[in-house]
Chains A and B, each alone.
Chain A
């Protein structure tokens, strides 16, 4: 019997410093919601994951975390890449996942099944990494709250109104909730649960 030969793509070339630089960009993004950062490292060919999502996975995931992959990302190649470089196992149960990688925000529209944490341990929630086509600091939603001086406009053509309604509901559950990291092919931005969302009143009326 012959096994199909598959080469696992390279991860970080300098684990220590590339992890640190990547973490710094993720930390800054989480601390300043909606602000768009250029990803310091882009890691190609990790199955269906985009290069910035892969950077996030290599920076934050290891044998202590369970990863959820949506259908489009859940290929043998992705799983092998993650298992080889991070040692993290994947799960099909969104409640058990510390990190969820999604190919689109669709899985979050309406009621979703990811872990919101609990009142005694709100930190036991899922962090969701969502691939989007673009990120922009204009129109769309107006963000405010911790990390934002007054307000910040934030939009992506990949985020539907249904997603934003879910995100508003997510914030209403604060301190419970999921934290979002949006990733394009080159950039990232974050939307933690603490961020208040004001949808453009023109759209609402």
Chain B
């Protein structure tokens, strides 16, 4: 991207693309979402200049909270450099002319598709999730009228049965992403399809978390320090993914969320941090993994 593109917002658009009336409507929904954490507030999602499934909900929420002085980071599965993240970043560069970053620490607004950065988020930051299916009960009960009643009555037996069936079939809870959570003991919420590895980071996070589902036209929110508990059973407690004895091949990190990369036709593989900023920051601080080009040099 040229500097020229970055510094010249397209004059034909209102700041951050959306018109002011739409932003007001979305802002009102965000306030309701914050007042009732985990409850899905219906909103009149607009057509965006990108297809559904590309984060139109998250983009609308980001457009409604973003200000001139904000610094925006966009990630897709933890990475700043994948297609979805790059195109959304370019979208806001063009329509809002805001400062962009890939560094988690520097960002004030972070839009994410399915990961929470490894670096702990702080109170001045806002995390915006792109959500495909906001309703955690949808695959168990297709009728909106029914799921709405189930939330109204806090009737969540069905989702426990689903988790129990996992145990009956597989011997353990086999749900690994979009793992349902209970918010403040009242609403069961879909944490968006983040790996369950990230669920504990939602609990009492210092940052405000906003969720936008464009196609399904729902917004929900978690204020800072909100109780977010992953559903489980006493004898089958919630656990997160672990990679024992695995280090990031590039930065040597342990205990982070890994991507597996196949290296050749013989099936050789390596594991690297899914959070590209975390990995790059560690490498720049001198942490090196065994497959890093500088590693052998260092060892000699």
Q: Which residues of A contact B (CB under 8 A)?
A: 15-17, 19-21, 23-24, 26-28, 30-32, 59-65, 98, 119-123, 125, 127, 145-149, 174-175, 179, 192-194
Contact = CB atoms under 8 A, between A and B. Distances in A.
A166 B14 CA distance: 42
6 contacts: A21-B67, A27-B208, A30-B31, A31-B34, A119-B153, A147-B224
B68 A17 contact: yes
A24 B65 CA distance: 7
Contact of B226 (A17, A60, A147, A193): A147
Given A62-B24, A146-B223, 5 more contacts: A17-B67, A123-B33, A127-B31, A146-B227, A147-B224
A179 B35 contact: yes
A59 B41 contact: no
Interface string B63-76: 01111100000000
A175 B41 CA distance: 13
A193 B65 contact: no
B146 to A, nearest CB: 11
Contacts of A175: 36, 39, 186-187
Contact of B25 (A17, A26, A64): A64
Contacts of B66: 20
Contacts of A24: 65, 67
Interface in B197-228: 204, 208, 221-227
A5 B148 CA distance: 52
B32 interface: yes
Given A23-B65, A119-B152, A31 B28 contact: no
B34 A15 contact: no
B31 A27 contact: yes
A19 B208 contact: no
Contacts of A17: 15, 67-68
Contact of A32 (B41, B204, B223): B223
B259 to A, nearest CB: 32
Contacts of B222: 146
Interface in B5-36: 14-15, 20-21, 23-25, 27-36
Contact of B184 (A27, A31, A194): A194
A123 B153 contact: no
Nearest to B184: A146
A99 to B, nearest CB: 9
A27 B30 contact: yes
Given A15-B20, A27-B31, A31-B34, A123 B41 contact: yes
A62 B15 contact: no
Interface string B236-272: 0000000000000000000000000000000000000
A149 to B, nearest CB: 5
A205 to B, nearest CB: 29
A63 B24 CA distance: 11
A107 to B, nearest CB: 20
A62 B44 CA distance: 15
Contacts of B39: 122-123, 175
A149 B226 CA distance: 8
Nearest to B224: A147
Nearest to A23: B27
Nearest to A15: B20
A147 B223 CA distance: 5
Contacts of B180: none
A98 B187 CA distance: 23
